[in-house]
Amino acid sequence: MVDANLVCKTSDTLLTAMELINKNAKGVVFVLDQDEKLCGIATDGDIRRALLNGFKLQGQIAQVMNTAYVYARDTDGEHDMLSKINYKVKIIPIVNESMRMVDYFEFKQGIRVPVAEPALNGNEFSYATDAILSTWISSNGKYIKLFEENFSQYCGCKYGAAVSNGTTALHLALLALNVGQGDEVIVPDLTFAATINTVLHAQATPVIVDVEEDSWCIDPKEIEKAITPRTKAIIPVHLYGQPCNMAEIMRIAKAHHLYVIEDCAEAHGAEYGRKKVGSFGDISCFSFFGNKVITTGEGGMCLTNSSELNDRMRVLRDHGMSKTKKYWHDMVGYNYRMTNIQAAIGVAQLEHIGELLYKRNELELQYNKALAPVKGIELQKRNLADRKKITWLVSILAPGEKRDQLLNLFNENGLEVRPFFYPLSQMDIYRKYGFGDLSVSRKISAKGINLPTTLNIKESAIEKIKELLIKNI
Ligand SMILES: *Cc1c(COP(=O)(O)O)cnc(C)c1O
C-alpha cells in the first residue's frame, strides 16, 4: 500500500495537501478521484505558485494539480522507470491498468555513485573516429606512435611500447629482462593480483614482502631481508596513487644488481623527488583500464630508457617476429599489441591528464576536509617525504571490525565503494610465496575502503558518506 501521506482527494484543500507534503517529505502529493484513480500530481512548487497567484488555502487541490504528469506502469521494468525520472522529476507514481496507484519510483532508488568513471570529454571521440575513418583500426597507425611518444615524454622516459593491457605490460617487462624459471621476484603483499600473476606467467618465483605502515607501499627494509642469490628483480607497486620509496629501492637494487620493474598502474603522474614514477626502474608498466587515471578502454604501456630493452619488447609483443626479416622469428613471442583506436583515445586522454589529476586532487581535498572531523578513520597520507601522490581512488582506513558493515551500508545507499585488495599471502594460491612478517599489509587491508572517486560526484554524496561514517563507527 502507498503511504497515506502521499495521496489526497480532488476535493481536499491546498492546506491539506501542504500538510501531507510536510509529513511525507517527498515534495509532492498524488491526487486521486472519487474512484480512487490517479488524476493528478501537485508539488510543493505548484501550490506555492498557486498561492502567489491568488489561490486561497481553502481552495481545492483539483484546480492546482498537474494533470499532464509522468507516471510508470506496474509492468514497466526498472530501466523504463529510470528513464522517466531525472533531477527535476524525482518521484513518479506507478499505476496498474485501471490507473490505481500501486507504488511510486524515486530518483534515489535508482541512482548509484560509481567508485570510478572515465572522463571522455576531450578529443577522445574525435580521434577514435579519425582512426576508424582512416581504416587503420588494428595495431598499425599514427596514433600508436604518437601515444607512445607523448606518454613516455610525459613520464620522463625515452621509449614507450604500447601493449594490450597492464598485465601484458608486466609480463612483457619480465620477458624482456629474461626473468624466468629459477629467478625470484620480490613483490608487495598489498597489490592487485596482476603483479604476482605475471611473475608466475614468466615461470619465476614470487617472493611476497610486507608494506610500510604509512605509505601502504612495499617496505624497502623487507625487500632487503628477502634478497637471496636467486633474486633477480623487484616490482614496487605505487599503490592507490602513492609513490614507493624509490630512493631506497633503487639503492638496494643497485647494491644487489637487481632489476626494478615499476608497477605504475595506479599512479600515472605521481612523483618521487620531483621525478615522475615510471622513470626510475629498468622498465615501468602502466595500465589504461577503464577505472585508471587515464584510459584506453583496455590498454597498457612499458616505458624504458634502454633502446635494447625497447627493441626486445617491440619484438616480443609482436609474435617475436624479426623487425628486419618478416615472418622470421628469433624469439617465442606474444601478441600483446594495442590497437590504433585505443591509442587514439589515449592521445586524447593525455591531452587533459593535467586537468584530470588537478580535479582528482581537488576531490580528495574536498573529501579530506569533510572527513577530518570523523573520529576513528584515517585518511591516506598526502605529505610523505619526497613523495607527491596523485589521487587514484580516495582511500581511507576504518576500524577493522566495522569495515564490512560500512561497505554494505555505503552500497545500500547507492554509494559504490570497494574494500582494499586482500593481502596476496592470504589467498591459497599465493600463500606459499609469503616471506617473513606480513602483519602490516593484513592490518591495512582489513581496514581499507576506496570511496567513490568519480569527478561527477555531488557534494551531497560526500556529506552522506561523512554522515554514514559518523553514525556507524
Ligand atoms: C590495474 C592494475 C594492473 C593490471 O592492469 P590491467 O590493465 O587491468 O591488466 C596491474 N597492477 C596494478 C597494481 C593494477 O592496479
User: Is 286's C-beta closer than 6 angstroms to any atom of ligand 1?
Assistant: no
* Rounded Cα gap, residues 333 and 316, in angstroms: 5
3-state secondary structure 25-55: CCCEEEEECCCCEEEEEEEHHHHHHHHHCCC
Q: Confirm or reject: Cβ of 148 under 6 Å from ligand 1.
A: no
Alpha helices in 85-219 (DSSP H): 107-110, 124-133, 142-155, 166-176, 194-201
pLDDT for residue 1: 66
Q: 195 CB less than 6 Å from ligand 1?
A: yes
> What separation in Å is there between the alpha carbon of 265 and the centre of ligand 1?
5
Q: Is 391 in the pocket of ligand 1 (CB under 6 A)?
A: no
**Grid coordinates representing 319?**
609474435
User: 75: pLDDT confidence band, cut at 50, 70 and 90?
Assistant: very high
**Mean per-residue pLDDT for 42-56?**
94
210 CA to middle of ligand 1, Å?
19
Nearest CA owner, ligand 1 atom 6 = 166
pLDDT value for 108: 62
Residue 2: the pLDDT is: 82
Does residue 109 carry a pLDDT above 60? no
pLDDT band at 375 (very low <50, low <70, confident <90, very high): very high
Q: b/e string for 86-102 if b means 16 or more Cβ within 10 A?
A: eeeebbbbbbeeebebe
Q: How confident is the model at residue 93 (pLDDT cuts 50, 70, 90)?
A: very high
Q: Which of 163, 167, 420 to mutate to test the pocket of ligand 1 (most atoms within 8 A of CB)?
A: 167
237 lines ligand 1 (CB under 6 A): yes
pLDDT above 60 for 79: yes
Distance CA 282, CA 305 (A): 7
Note the pLDDT tens digit of each residue in 284-319: 999 999 999 999 999 999 999 999 999 999 999 999
Rounded CA separation 423/442 (Å) = 6
Q: Is 166 in the pocket of ligand 1 (CB under 6 A)?
A: yes
Query: Is the pLDDT reported for residue 111 higher than 90?
Result: no
E strand or H helix that includes residue 266: none
Question: What is the 297 CA–ligand 1 centroid distance (Å)?
Answer: 13
- Closest ligand 1 atom, CA of 194? 10
> Does ligand 1 lie within 6 Å of residue 265's CB atom?
yes
Judge if the beta carbon of residue 271 lies within 6 A of ligand 1. Answer: no
For residue 210, give the nearest of 397, 422, 439 by alpha carbon: 439
Residue among 72, 139, 159, 66 at smallest CA distance from 335: 139
Cβ-proximal residues to 246 (8 Å cutoff; 6+ apart), any chain: 236, 272, 273, 275, 277, 280
Q: Distance, CA 54 to ligand 1 centroid (Å)?
A: 64
Average pLDDT for 275-287 = 98
Q: What's the mean pLDDT when you consider all of the chain?
A: 95
Instruction: State how far Cα 44 lies from the chain centre.
Output: 38
The answer to whether residue 110 scores a pLDDT higher than 80 is no
Q: Helix and strand tally (H, E) in the chain?
A: 16, 20
Ligand 1 center–CA 2 separation, angstroms: 48
Q: What is the pLDDT of residue 84?
A: 83
Q: Give the residue with greater pLDDT, 109 vs 25.
A: 25
Kindly state if the Cβ of 423 falls inside 6 Å of ligand 1: no
Q: Tell me the pLDDT band of 170, cut-offs 50, 70 and 90.
A: very high
Which residue has the least CA distance to atom 4 on ligand 1? 166
Closest atom, ligand 1, to C-alpha of 169? 9
The pLDDT, as a whole number, for residue 89 is 83
Does pLDDT of 448 surpass 80? yes
Atom of ligand 1 nearest to the CA of 291: 1
Residue 10 CA to ligand 1 centre (angstroms): 60
Q: Is the CB of 259 under 6 A from ligand 1?
A: no
Residue with the smallest CA separation from ligand 1 atom 2 is: 265
- Count Cα neighbours of 198 within 13 Å in the Cβ-side half-sphere: 25
Average pLDDT estimate for 69-78: 89
Does ligand 1 lie within 6 Å of residue 287's CB atom?
A: yes
